[in-house]
Every structure is written in structure tokens, then in C-alpha cells.
Structure 1
Amino acid sequence: MAEVDESNKPLFAGLSDVSISEDIPVEGEITVPVGSQTQEDEYSTLDEPVKDTILRDLKAVGKKFVHVMYPKKSSALLRDWDLWGPLLLCVTLALMLQGGSADSKDDGGPQFAEVFVIIWFGSVIITLNSKLLGGTISFFQSLCVLGYCILPLTVAMVVCRLVLLGGSGMASFIVRFVVVIASFGWSTFASTAFLADSQPPNRKALVVYPVFLFYFVISWMILTFSPLRSGDTQP
């Protein structure tokens, strides 16, 4: 009996003999098994209303503000980072620092673009410095922490504007000085509390120093801000 040479058979020759019984349903829906649902499925926002999405994001930003006001070693700002809060604080601070003089031709305070560039450019430089020193956090996580920690300084700017409404004498300067110094210390402490664990132990001082300078520059702009330049009078 001659042997059949199977090497010359087509690769899918046997598929033509396969038939599907009429009793077997071939229609249906592609669904995920009930037992295979993961935690990520619970947070899917594909079918979520826009209103719920906005409220959820605002709630997340508010929680990060709370973490900054009560700083402690936590991964809250690092785990769920975003840039909405830093953008809001940067725009608010820039708007309040804009136009520091009654004379529109020669403003005594820094302009909007100057404040905006200083904040974001400074944050990027600090982040690059942290990465070059061996930091373990990502680029945007660092920007998130540095941006959110501007919150105490933004609050200080609001207080200073209110104090300046009552005058710009020595008492006003002392009050503003105390508020700005306290906010500067709070911002520096909060940022280092979140970033401390992500840096090598022997290089933490090299990371904290640029952060100190960054918030010091912002604090100086707030402290030296005046709605009227020296010698100007109300029209």
C-alpha cells in the first residue's frame, strides 16, 4: 500500500470538511464576563455624563488643595497628578500681580506674561534638576507638586491685596511681610514633604535649594507689589 505524501497537501486542506451544526447558535453579543471585571472598569468615563466628569475633576483638585494646606508625606499629588490646579493658581496669581500702578503706561507690578513665564519656567528647571540628580518621579508629577504648592502664596497675595486697600504704611508692610514669610515657609515645606522620598538621601539638599529660590522669587514679587508707585496719586 503506497504511502501518501502529506508534505504536498495544502496547509488548510482539512478546513473544508468542517461544518457547523444548525443546533449551535452563531449569533450573539460580545460582552465581558461578569467575573472578569477589574477595578479599572469601575472608573470608566466613556458613558459618564460631562457634568459628572467635571464635578469629579473639581473634587480631585479640591482634595489636592487640602493636601497642600495640611502637608504630610503622602503620594496623593504624585499618584493622581494633574495640571488643572497649577494652571488655575498660576493664572490667578498672575492676574493679581498685574497692573501695580494707577498709571497704565508704566505699571509698577509685573505683567501677566512675566509671572506666567517665571512660574512655569522655574518649575521646569527645578524638575529637570531633580531628574538629573536621580529623582524617581516623572516630569509631570514634579510640575504638579510645585504648581499646587503655590496655593499658600496665592492666598498670601489675596491677603496682601486686602491689606493694601487700607493703606500702604509701615503697619501694612509688617502685616504683609509676616503673611508672605509664613506662606513662603508653608509652600517650601509642603513641596519638600511631597518630593522628599523621591530623591536620593545624599542629594536632597541639592533639590531643596532650587525649590527655596523658586518660592522666594514668587514671595518677593508678592511682597514688593504695590497698587501705586511711589509718588503716584489717585486721579
Structure 2
Amino acid sequence: MVWGAARQRPAGRGVFCQFAGLSDVSISQDIPVEGEITVPMASQSQEEDFSTLDEPVKDTIMRDLKAVGKKFFHVMYPKKSTALLRDWDLWGPLVLCVSLALMLQSGNVNNKDDGGPQFAEVFVIIWFGAVVITLNSKLLGGTISFFQSLCVLGYCILPLTVAMLVSRLMLLASGGTVTFIIRLIVVITMFAWSTFASTAFLADSQPPNRRALAVYPIFLFYFVISWMILTFSPSSA
């Protein structure tokens, strides 16, 4: 009979009995509560509050120029750093590619066969070569992203761009065997600099047993650009 009475007890009354003591329980402030609608302003960092939408255009341009300048510094002073990989961009590679192509193009603008094709040739070789090297790196198991690799390869053209500038100035001043020897030394030095800088940033992203396969296309990439710089002569200018 007692069991039958227990079965006949209303279900709602049993539930209220189970939660009868919860009315005396208060939530402490130390207990984290999820789903808060408002977040104290003091808990937000300064970077989270910063918005480029309210920033003047001049400040935005100066900040981007400083970022590009820092990447140029890392290339000219190559060391193992994640600056090029973390804050990647393609502005620096685009400027270097255009500058190098303009210096390699022919100076005779009246001839339709000069200038344009050579500019397009340099532009395509640089970007197509960088894309091929990046795809090769990814196929070999590289851990960096596509655009990070393009950023590093593009920024590391800076020493070769400097070599092209020096070479062009020397050709404008004088020519001959001595000038060629000096140009050869400058180009070889900058070629080694570009190769070393790029491998310093990209080598660690490759598996140890496949680094040679990843570095070899980089060597060929900068070698082709160096050969174009070295074979540039006033007759094509």
C-alpha cells in the first residue's frame, strides 16, 4: 500500500521537493557565467579597440610604408625571423618587380618591339617563378601558406634590384672589361644574398629530408634573374 501511495503522489510535487533548497543558494561573483551580453571596456586590449576605419589616410599609408621598410631590413640583414611570414604582404614584391622590370627594359621607346615585351618577360618570370616555387614547396610538405611564400620570394629580390641599379649606373658611366668584372662581382654577391635570405626564411618550413629539393628551385629562380641583370648591356638600352 505504501508503494501504491508513492505511485499516486503527483509528479510536480516530487520535482518541487528536489529543488526546495535552491532558493537559498546565491551565485557567487567568483563563478564565471557564460553568455554575458556586455563586456567591460577595461578587459579589451588596445589592439581590439583600434580600428583603421577611423584612422586618417596619411597614418594608414605611413604604417604600411613602415611595415614594408621593416621587411626590407630583414631581407638586407637576413636572420631567422617570422616577420615576413607573420605579417605578409605583396606590396613590396610588386614594387621590386616593377622596378626591376623597368630597369631591364629597353630605353628605345620609339621602337614598338622594344621595352614592352622585355618588361612583360621580367614580370612573368618573377611571378610565375615564385608561384612554381611555392607550389613545389607545398607539394613537398611545406608548412607555410601560399602567400607567405610569395611574400618571402618577392622581398628577397631586393638585393638583385640593388645589383641592377648599380649595374645600370656603371653602364651609363663607362663600359669595358673592368666594368664587367665589377658588375659580375656585384651580381654574384647579391645573388648569394638573395638565395641565403630566402632560404633563411623558407628552409625551416620544409621537412628535413626534403630541404634540398625545396632550395634547388629557389637557386634557379634567382640565378635566372641574376643572369638577366648580368647580360644587360647598353645596346639593349
Q: TM-score range by the shorter chain?
A: 0.7 to 0.9
TM superposition outliers: structure 1 runs of 4+ over 6 Å: none
Unaligned runs of 5+ in 2: 1-9, 11-36
Deviations 1:162-209 (A, max 9, x none): 110122211111010000000000000000000111110110000000
The residue aligned with 1:169 is: 176
Following superposition, the deviation at residue 92 of structure 1 comes to 0.2
The residue aligned with 2:20 is: none
Output the CA distance in 2 between the equivalents of 1:77 and 1:156: 22
1:187-202 pair list within 5 angstroms: 187-202=194-209
**Structure with more of its chain in helix, by fraction:** 2
Deviations 1:98-148 (A, max 9, x none): 006698355499611110000000000000000000000000000000000
TM-score by length of 2: 0.80
TM-score by length of 1: 0.80
2:121 matched to 1:89? no
Equivalent residues, number: 204
Match of 2:86 among 60, 79, 90: 79
Q: 1:31 to 1:185 in 2, by over 3 A?
A: same
Match of 2:211 among 204, 207, 215: 204
2:159 matched to 1:152? yes
Higher mean alpha-carbon deviation, 39-48 vs 124-133, is at: 39-48
Following superposition, the deviation at residue 38 of structure 1 comes to 3.1
Q: Percent identity?
A: 80
Any idea what SS the aligned residue of 1:111 has? helix
The residue aligned with 2:53 is: 46
Match of 1:56 among 46, 54, 63: 63
Deviations 1:38-62 (A, max 9, x none): 3541543121111100000000000
Output the CA distance in 1 between the equivalents of 2:179 and 2:111: 24
2:191 matched to 1:181? no
The residue aligned with 2:23 is: none
1:135, 1:198 within 8 Å by CA — same for their partners in 2?
A: yes
Amino acid at match of 2:177: M
Match of 2:131 among 121, 124, 128: 124
Amino acid at match of 2:198: S
Any idea what SS the aligned residue of 1:216 has? helix
Q: Larger Cα Rg: Structure 1 or Structure 2? A: 2
Amino acid at match of 2:95: L
The CA RMSD measured in Å over matched residues stands at: 2.3
